[in-house]
C-alpha cells in the first residue's frame, strides 16, 4: 500500500509533516484525490508533488516561479530533464511547444521512441487540478459500476496516464526543463551513485557538513580524506584510515587503523577493523568487518560517455540465471570474518559469514 | 681406501668451515678422489612460468637459495666434487652464476648440452666419457626435487648391497597417481607398476639415484627413459635396490607444489635448524627472512613464508604461505596468501593476492587491486582486478 507523504510548505523550522496512509492502494493520483481536503487546507496557491524514489538537486523555488508565470490557466508544471533515446522508454515522455513550454503530448513508458524529454516525477499543482482529477475519478466510478467489481479499487487513479496525458495539448500543463542532476533510486545499486551526487551538492551548498581535508589536531580531521566524504560527528575514524572519494560514514561507526573506504556507504554502528578495504559497497547498520578483509562491489553508474545517460536498473539476474555484478550490500548485523573477500554479493541481515563469497546472495 | 676416507673427512671439515665463513674462496682436492653427480636439468621449466621467463628454473630461489644449489650443496656435503648438468638449452646466465657458485664450493661444474631432448637416460650416455673416468658410483638427480638429500646414507647403502643401482623411494598418500616401486624386505626392487588401480605399494620413485658406471652399458645415446627403459631391466637382473627416504619430498616444478614444498622445507628447518627461522614481531609459524629484508610494524608474517634479500614489507601487511623473491616491495595493508612474488615487484597498498598467484619479474600491482590465481608475465603493470584465474600478458 502506498503511503502518501505530503510536505506542507512554510518556514523551515515550522515545517509540519503529515503522514497520510491510503486505506488501500489508490495509484499515484487516487491518493492525492482522496486526501484533497487535507492538501487544500489553508488555501495554498499551489503544492508540490514528488515521487518518493527520486533524488535530485531540487530547484523547487524556480519550479514554483515558473508555474506562477504561466498564469491561472496552468494546472500542472512537470519538472523534466533530457534522457538518452534508448533510456527515455523507461520514463514518461513529454513533447512540448518550444515557445510556451506547454506539454502538447505525454506518454508514460512508451514502447517506441517519442521524445528524449522525460518526466522527473516532480510537479507543482494548482489546487484547481483536483477538478481534472475529479473528472478522471468520475469516469472511473462510472466504469466501475458499469463493469462490476474490477481488480482495482474504484478510486484507483494513475496520475500519469489518467490525469497528465489527457491534460496534454489543452494548454493547462507545462514543463520546466532542468539540467540539474537528477536520478531515480530504484535499486540499492543506485544509492552509491546518488550518494556521490548528494555529497557534491553538500560541497557547493553545505560544505560544513563534509569532512575537511586539512588537519586540525583532531584525530578525525587528521585522517586521510579524499573528498567528498561525510562523517557523522559521533563516528570514530583512526588517523591512519584513508577515506574517499564518495564515502558516507554513519552514526557511531568505528573505522580501524589502516582501513581504506572508497565509493561506499557505512551505516550506523558498523565496525570496520584494521587494514580492511571497502569498495563500492553499502555496509548495513551494526555490521562488523574483520581485519584484512576486502568487501567489494561492481559500480553500476550511468555511462559517463553518453550525455544525459541515467542509471540503468538491470535485473538482479542475467539470462543465464547468474547474479548480475553489482555493488556489495550487507544487511544489518552482518559479520564478515577477517582475511576474507566478499565480492559482488548481497548479504541478508543477521548473517554471520564464515568464509569468502563471490557473486552470491547470502540468504 | 683409508686415504679416501681421510680425504672425505678433510672435505667435510673444509665444508663446515666454508658454511661458517661463507665467501671463503678455496680450491681444493684432486677431482679423481671425489664423487660425481649428474643433474637432469632438462628444458626451460615452462611449468614454473612466468618466473622462468626471466631466470632459468634451477636458479629460481626456493627458500632463498636457487633450487639447484640446494642439491649441489647437499652433494658437496656427501663428497661430490664434479657435477654434470644435463641441459637441453644454452643458458649463459645459468652457466656463469653456477660457475661462480662452483668456485665458492670448490667443485667443478660441467654443462652437458643435449642437441635434441634425450629423455631421462640419454643424458647419461651423452656424459658417459666424464662418468667413466672413475669406477666410483655416481649420483643422478631430477632437478626439481626438494628433500633432505641423504646422499651420504644413500652412498653407504649402495656400497653395502653392492649391486649396480639404488633408487630413492618416498612414501605418498595417493600412489594411484604415480608409478609405484615394489621391492622385497631387503630392498631389492622387483618391479614397477604405473598408476596402480589396486594398492600394491605406497612407495614411488623420488627421482634420486646412485648408479655404478656399468649402468651406462645399458643405455644408448638416444632419447630414453631411465624409469621405463633402464630400471625395469636392472630390476629384472636383481641389480636395483630401493632406499627409503626419511622426511619430506616434493617435486617443486610448478607453482602449487613449489609452495607446498616450501612449507615442508620450512617445517624441516624448524626441526633441524630452528635458529635459521625468523621470529621477529608478528611472526606466525615457520618463516624464513633474509637478513637484508625489512619488515614494517603491525605485520602478520606466516605461517610458511619466505622473504628474500632486499625485500621491503611495509606496515600492516599480512602474508601467508608465500615466497617473496629478491628486492620486491609489498606496500602497507596488503594481504597475500598462496603466492609467489617474483623479483623487483611492487605490490601496492590494500592489494589482495591469492589462489596461487605468480608475479613474474618487475611486475607492478597498483593500489587496491585484487588478483586471484593470476599468472602475471614479467614487466607488467596491473591496474584492474583479476578475480578469476588467468594468465595476464
pLDDT band at A221 (very low <50, low <70, confident <90, very high): very low
Contact A257 B316 (CB under 8 A): yes
pLDDT band at A16 (very low <50, low <70, confident <90, very high): confident
Min Cα separation B372/chain A (Å):
11
Which of A118, A137, A169 is CA-nearest to residue A32?
A137
Chain A contact set for B350 (CB, 8 A)? 260, 275, 277, 294
pLDDT in tens, B204-248: 999 999 999 988 888 888 888 888 888 888 988 989 999 999 999
Percentage of chain A with pLDDT > 90? 52
A261 touches chain B (CB under 8 A): no
Look at residue B112 and tell me whether its pLDDT is greater than 50: yes
Which of B125, B36, B42 is CA-nearest to residue B83?
B36
Q: Which residues of A30-56 are buried (b: 16+ CB within 10 A; e: fewer)?
A: bbbbbbbeebeeeeeebbbbbeeebbb
Q: Which of A260, A339, A358 sits opposite B333 (nearest CB)?
A: A260
pLDDT in tens, A151-175: 567 788 889 998 999 999 999 999 9
Contact B352 A341 (CB under 8 A): yes
B65 touches chain A (CB under 8 A): no
SS3 B202: coil
Lowest-pLDDT range, A179-188, B135-144, B321-330, B333-342? A179-188
- pLDDT greater at residue A254 or residue B129: A254
Average the pLDDT over B74-85 and give the result.
90
pLDDT for B14: 43
Search chain B and give the residue with CA nearest A344: B387
Which of A12, A17, A14, A47 is CA-nearest to residue A32?
A47
Look at residue A7 and tell me whether its pLDDT is greater than 50: no
Average the pLDDT over B259-265 and give the result.
96
Look at residue A258 and tell me whether its pLDDT is greater than 90: yes
Q: How many CB atoms lie within 10 A of CB B135?
A: 8
pLDDT for B15: 44
pLDDT in tens, B332-390: 999 999 999 999 999 999 999 999 999 999 999 999 999 999 999 999 999 999 999 99
Look at residue A5 and tell me whether its pLDDT is greater than 50: no
Look at residue A314 and tell me whether its pLDDT is greater than 60: yes
Min Cα separation B235/chain A (Å):
51
pLDDT for B20: 40
Residue B247: C-alpha distances to residues B75, B172, B306 (Å):
17, 12, 20
pLDDT band at B90 (very low <50, low <70, confident <90, very high): low
pLDDT for A213: 62
B366 touches chain A (CB under 8 A): no
Min Cα separation A258/chain B (Å):
6
pLDDT for A235: 95
**φ, ψ at A109 (rounded to 5°):** 40, 70
pLDDT for A1: 35
Look at residue A346 and tell me whether its pLDDT is greater than 60: yes
pLDDT band at B114 (very low <50, low <70, confident <90, very high): confident
Which of A75, A81, A69, A93 is CA-nearest to residue A171?
A75
Percentage of chain A with pLDDT > 70? 91
Greatest alpha-carbon pair distance for chain A in Å reads 75
Look at residue A79 and tell me whether its pLDDT is greater than 50: yes
pLDDT for A207: 84
Look at residue A260 and tell me whether its pLDDT is greater than 90: yes
pLDDT for A92: 93
pLDDT band at A261 (very low <50, low <70, confident <90, very high): very high
Min Cα separation B322/chain A (Å):
15
Average the pLDDT over A12-16 and give the result.
64
pLDDT for A8: 45
Q: Cα–Cα distance between B127 and B114 in angstroms, integer? A: 10
Please pick, among B32, B177, B195, B272, the residue that the annotation labels catalytic: B195
Q: With contact defined as beta carbons under 8 Å apart, do A130 and A147 qualify?
A: no
User: Is residue B57 annotated as part of the catalytic site, yes or no?
Assistant: no
Lowest-pLDDT range, A66-70, A214-218, B204-208? A214-218
Chain A contact set for B368 (CB, 8 A)? 260, 262, 277, 279
Look at residue B259 and tell me whether its pLDDT is greater than 80: yes
Contact A274 B316 (CB under 8 A): yes
pLDDT for A149: 59
B interface test, pick of A261, A275, A357 with most B CB neighbours within 10 Å: A275
- The DSSP element (H or E) to which A129 belongs, if any, is helix A129-147
Average the pLDDT over B106-119 and give the result.
84
CA-CA-CA-CA torsion sign (A100, A106, A108, A110): negative
Q: Which of B300, B332, B387 sits opposite A258 (nearest CB)?
A: B332
Q: With contact defined as beta carbons under 8 Å apart, do B293 and B307 qualify?
A: yes
Look at residue B199 and tell me whether its pLDDT is greater than 60: yes
Q: Cα–Cα distance between A294 and B300 in angstroms, integer? A: 17
pLDDT band at A2 (very low <50, low <70, confident <90, very high): very low
Residue that the C-alpha cell 636457487 belongs to: B66
Contact A260 B318 (CB under 8 A): no
- For residue B351 the three cell numbers come to 592489494
CA-CA-CA-CA torsion sign (B121, B123, B126, B128): negative
Contact A339 B335 (CB under 8 A): yes
Look at residue A280 and tell me whether its pLDDT is greater than 80: yes
Search chain A and give the residue with CA nearest B372: A341
Q: Cα–Cα distance between A154 and A305 in angstroms, integer? A: 46
Look at residue B273 and tell me whether its pLDDT is greater than 80: yes
A339 touches chain B (CB under 8 A): yes
pLDDT band at B298 (very low <50, low <70, confident <90, very high): very high
Q: Evaluate whether ipTM surpasses 0.95.
A: no
Mean model confidence pLDDT for chain B? 86
Chain A contact set for B387 (CB, 8 A)? 343, 358
pLDDT band at A148 (very low <50, low <70, confident <90, very high): low
Q: How many CB atoms lie within 10 A of CB B331?
A: 20
Concatenating the DSSP letter of every residue in B358-389 gives EE-TT-EE-TT-EEESEEEPTT-EE-S-B-S-
Average the pLDDT over B247-274 and give the result.
93
pLDDT for A209: 82
Contact B332 A277 (CB under 8 A): no
Q: Cα–Cα distance between A269 and A283 in angstroms, integer? A: 10
Look at residue A90 and tell me whether its pLDDT is greater than 80: yes
A279 touches chain B (CB under 8 A): yes
Min Cα separation A163/chain B (Å):
50
Q: Which of A291, A294, A358 sits opposite B352 (nearest CB)?
A: A294
Q: Cα–Cα distance between B385 and A296 in angstroms, integer? A: 11
- pLDDT greater at residue A13 or residue A220: A13
Average the pLDDT over A254-279 and give the result.
96
Look at residue A12 and tell me whether its pLDDT is greater than 80: no
Lowest-pLDDT range, A30-44, A219-233, B177-191, B335-349? A219-233
Chain A contact set for B337 (CB, 8 A)? 339
pLDDT band at B393 (very low <50, low <70, confident <90, very high): confident
- Overall pTM > 0.90: no
Average the pLDDT over B145-153 and give the result.
93
pLDDT for A322: 78
Chain B contact set for A358 (CB, 8 A)? 387
Residue ranges of the alpha helices (H) in B29-137? 67-77, 92-105, 122-126, 128-131
Chain B contact set for A291 (CB, 8 A)? 318
- pLDDT greater at residue B329 or residue B22: B329
A interface test, pick of B322, B331, B350 with most A CB neighbours within 10 Å: B350
Contact A258 B316 (CB under 8 A): yes
pLDDT for B132: 81
Amino acid at each position: 500500500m502506498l503511503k502518501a507523504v505530503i510536505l506542507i510548505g512554510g518556514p523551515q523550522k515550522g515545517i509540519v509533516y503529515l503522514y497520510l496512509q491510503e486505506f488501500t492502494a489508490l495509484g499515484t493520483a487516487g491518493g492525492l484525490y482522496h486526501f484533497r481536503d487535507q492538501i487544500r487546507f489553508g488555501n495554498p496557491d499551489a503544492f508540490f508533488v514528488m515521487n518518493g524514489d527520486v533524488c535530485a538537486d531540487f530547484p523547487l523555488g524556480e519550479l514554483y516561479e515558473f508555474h506562477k508565470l504561466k498564469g491561472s490557466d496552468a494546472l500542472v508544471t512537470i519538472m523534466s530533464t533530457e534522457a538518452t533515446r534508448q533510456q527515455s522508454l523507461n520514463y514518461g515522455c513529454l513533447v512540448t511547444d518550444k515557445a510556451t513550454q506547454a506539454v502538447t503530448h505525454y506518454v508514460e513508458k512508451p514502447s517506441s521512441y517519442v521524445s528524449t524529454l522525460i518526466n522527473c516525477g516532480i510537479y507543482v499543482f494548482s489546487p484547481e487540478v483536483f477538478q481534472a482529477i475529479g473528472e478522471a475519478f468520475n469516469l472511473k466510478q462510472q466504469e466501475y459500476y458499469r463493469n462490476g467489481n474490477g481488480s482495482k479499487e474504484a478510486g484507483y487513479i494513475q496520475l500519469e496516464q489518467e490525469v497528465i496525458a489527457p491534460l496534454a495539448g489543452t494548454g493547462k500543463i507545462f514543463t520546466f526543463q532542468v539540467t540539474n542532476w537528477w536520478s531515480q533510486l530504484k535499486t540499492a545499486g543506485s544509492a552509491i551513485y546518488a550518494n556521490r551526487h548528494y555529497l557534491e551538492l553538500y560541497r557547493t551548498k553545505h560544505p560544513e557538513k563534509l569532512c575537511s581535508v586539512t588537519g586540525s589536531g583532531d584525530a578525525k580531521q587528521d585522517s586521510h580524506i579524499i573528498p567528498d566524504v561525510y562523517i557523522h560527528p559521533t563516528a570514530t575514524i583512526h588517523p591512519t584510515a584513508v577515506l574517499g572519494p564518495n564515502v558516507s560514514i554513519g552514526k557511531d561507526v568505528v573505522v580501524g587503523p589502516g582501513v581504506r573506504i572508497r565509493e561506499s556507504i557505512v551505516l550506523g554502528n558498523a565496525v570496520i577493523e584494521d587494514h580492511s578495504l571497502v569498495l563500492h559497497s553499502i555496509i548495513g547498520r551494526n555490521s562488523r568487518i574483520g581485519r584484512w578483509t576486502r568487501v567489494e562491489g561492481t559500480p553500476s553508474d550511468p555511462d559517463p560517455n553518453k550525455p544525459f545517460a541515467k542509471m540503468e536498473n538491470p535485473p538482479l539476474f542475467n539470462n543465464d540465471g547468474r547474479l548480475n555484478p553489482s555493488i556489495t550490500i550487507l544487511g544489518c548485523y552482518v559479520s564478515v570474518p577477517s582475511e576474507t573477500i566478499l565480492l559482488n554479493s548481497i548479504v541478508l541481515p543477521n548473517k554471520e559469514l564464515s568464509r569468502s563469497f563471490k557473486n552470491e546472495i547470502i540468504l | 681406501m683409508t686415504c679416501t676416507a681421510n680425504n672425505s673427512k678433510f672435505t667435510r671439515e673444509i665444508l663446515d668451515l666454508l658454511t661458517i665463513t661463507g665467501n671463503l674462496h678455496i680450491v681444493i682436492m684432486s677431482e679423481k678422489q671425489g664423487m660425481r653427480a649428474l643433474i637432469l636439468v632438462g628444458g626451460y621449466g615452462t611449468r614454473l612460468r612466468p618466473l622462468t621467463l626471466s631466470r632459468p628454473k634451477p636458479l629460481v630461489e626456493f627458500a632463498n637459495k636457487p633450487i639447484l644449489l640446494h642439491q649441489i650443496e647437499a652433494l658437496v656435503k656427501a663428497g661430490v666434487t664434479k657435477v654434470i648438468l644435463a641441459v637441453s638449452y644454452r643458458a649463459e646466465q645459468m652457466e656463469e652464476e653456477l660457475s661462480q657458485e662452483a668456485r665458492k664450493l670448490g667443485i667443478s661444474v660441467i654443462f652437458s648440452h643435449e642437441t635434441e631432448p634425450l629423455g631421462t637416460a640419454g643424458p647419461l650416455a651423452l656424459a658417459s666419457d666424464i662418468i667413466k673416468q672413475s669406477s666410483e658410483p655416481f649420483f643422478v638427480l631430477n632437478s626439481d626435487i626438494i628433500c633432505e638429500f641423504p646422499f651420504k646414507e644413500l652412498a653407504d647403502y649402495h656400497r653395502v648391497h653392492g649391486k649396480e643401482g639404488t633408487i630413492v623411494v618416498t612414501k605418498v598418500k595417493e600412489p594411484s597417481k604415480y608409478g609405484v616401486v615394489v621391492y622385497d624386505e631387503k630392498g631389492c626392487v622387483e618391479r614397477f607398476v604405473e598408476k596402480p588401480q589396486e594398492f600394491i605399494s605406497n612407495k614411488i620413485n623420488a627421482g634420486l639415484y646412485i648408479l655404478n658406471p656399468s649402468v651406462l652399458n645399458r643405455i644408448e645415446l638416444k632419447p630414453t627413459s631411465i624409469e621405463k627403459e633402464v630400471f625395469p631391466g636392472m630390476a629384472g637382473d636383481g641389480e636395483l635396490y630401493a632406499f627409503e627416504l626419511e622426511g619430506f619430498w616434493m617435486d617443486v616444478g610448478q607453482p602449487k607444489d613449489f609452495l607446498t614444498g616450501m612449507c615442508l622445507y620450512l617445517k624441516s628447518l624448524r626441526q633441524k635448524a630452528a635458529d635459521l627461522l625468523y621470529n621477529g614481531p608478528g611472526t606466525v609459524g615457520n618463516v624464513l627472512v633474509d637478513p637484508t629484508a625489512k619488515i614494517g610494524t603491525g605485520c602478520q608474517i606466516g605461517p610458511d613464508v619466505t622473504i628474500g634479500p632486499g625485500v621491503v614489507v611495509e606496515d600492516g601487511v599480512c602474508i601467508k604461505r608465500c615466497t617473496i623473491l629478491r628486492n620486491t616491495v609489498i606496500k602497507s595493508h596488503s594481504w597475500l596468501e598462496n603466492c609467489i612474488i617474483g623479483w623487483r615487484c611492487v605490490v601496492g597498498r590494500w592489494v589482495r593476492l591469492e589462489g596461487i598467484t605468480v608475479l613474474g619479474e618487475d611486475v607492478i600491482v597498483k593500489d587496491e587491486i585484487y588478483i586471484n590465481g593470476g599468472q602475471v608475465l614479467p614487466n607488467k603493470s596491473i591496474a584492474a582486478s583479476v578475480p578469476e584465474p588467468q594468465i595476464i600478458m
